[in-house]
C-alpha cells in the first residue's frame, strides 16, 4: 500500500502547554477557550463555517509516543486494545474533538470546550451536524463502569514522548 501523507491546514492554540494536565475529552473541558489559526492557503475554505455552532477538529497528536497495541487508558487500570481506547498514542496518532464555535475573525476561529494541547497541528475541520453525527448508543464497553470519572480526568503524561 502507498504511504499516506497529510499536511496541516493550521495550528490549535490552547491554555495547555503540555499534555500532562490537559482534559482528556471535550466533555471534561467545558468552558476552556482557545483559538485555531488556519494557514492563509486554506482561509477561503472557512466560508460559511460561521453558520455552525459546533465543529469537528481532526488533528495530529504530535507529542504522543508509540505504544504497543495493548495499553492502559486514562479511565481504567486494566489494559485494553488500542482500538478500544481513545488515548493519543495510536498506530496513526489522529485525534478528533467536537468543539463549540464562538466566532471567526479572518483566519482565526475562536472555540470553546477545547481539550487539545497548544501547538497541535490541525489536519481538517468538518461541521458537526446532529442528524449526520449523532446516533443511539446501546453499549460503551469497558467505559460503562468508568464513565463517571470523566469530569475530573486529566492527562497524566503516560502517552507523551520522553
Q: Taking the model in full, what pTM does it have?
A: 0.82
Distances (CA, A) of 55 to 11, 111, 124, 127, 143: 15, 9, 10, 4, 25
Nearest to 119 by CA among 37, 32, 29, 56: 37
Nearest to 99 by CA among 60, 135, 49, 136: 49
For the chain, which domains are there? 10-152 (2.40.30.70)
Residue 93 makes CB contacts below 8 A (sequence gap 6+) with: 60, 61, 62, 64
Separation of alpha carbons 57 and 42, rounded Å? 15
Span 23-59, pLDDT tens digits: 777 776 788 999 999 999 999 999 999 999 999 999 9
Phi, psi for residue 160 in degrees, rounded to 5: -90, 160
Span 104-147, pLDDT tens digits: 999 999 999 999 999 999 999 999 998 887 777 767 666 667 66
Instruction: Point out which residues pair with 154 in neighbouring strands.
Output: 23
Amino acid at each position: 500500500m502507498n504511504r499516506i501523507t497529510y499536511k496541516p491546514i493550521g495550528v490549535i492554540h490552547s491554555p495547555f502547554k503540555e499534555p500532562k494536565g490537559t482534559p482528556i475529552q471535550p466533555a471534561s473541558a467545558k468552558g476552556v477557550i482557545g483559538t485555531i489559526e488556519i494557514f492563509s492557503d486554506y482561509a477561503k475554505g472557512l466560508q460559511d463555517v460561521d453558520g455552525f455552532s459546533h465543529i469537528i477538529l481532526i488533528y495530529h497528536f504530535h507529542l504522543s509516543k508509540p505504544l504497543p497495541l495493548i495499553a492502559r487508558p486514562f479511565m481504567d487500570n486494566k489494559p485494553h486494545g488500542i482500538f478500544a481506547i481513545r488515548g493519543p498514542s495510536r498506530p496513526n496518532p489522529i485525534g478528533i474533538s467536537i468543539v463549540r464555535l464562538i466566532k471567526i475573525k479572518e483566519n482565526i476561529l475562536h472555540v470553546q470546550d477545547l481539550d487539545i494541547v497548544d501547538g497541535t497541528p490541525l489536519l481538517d475541520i468538518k461541521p458537526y451536524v446532529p442528524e449526520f453525527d449523532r446516533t443511539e448508543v446501546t453499549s460503551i464497553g469497558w467505559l460503562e463502569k468508568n464513565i463517571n470519572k470523566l469530569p475530573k480526568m486529566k492527562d497524566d503524561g503516560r502517552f507523551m514522548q520522553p
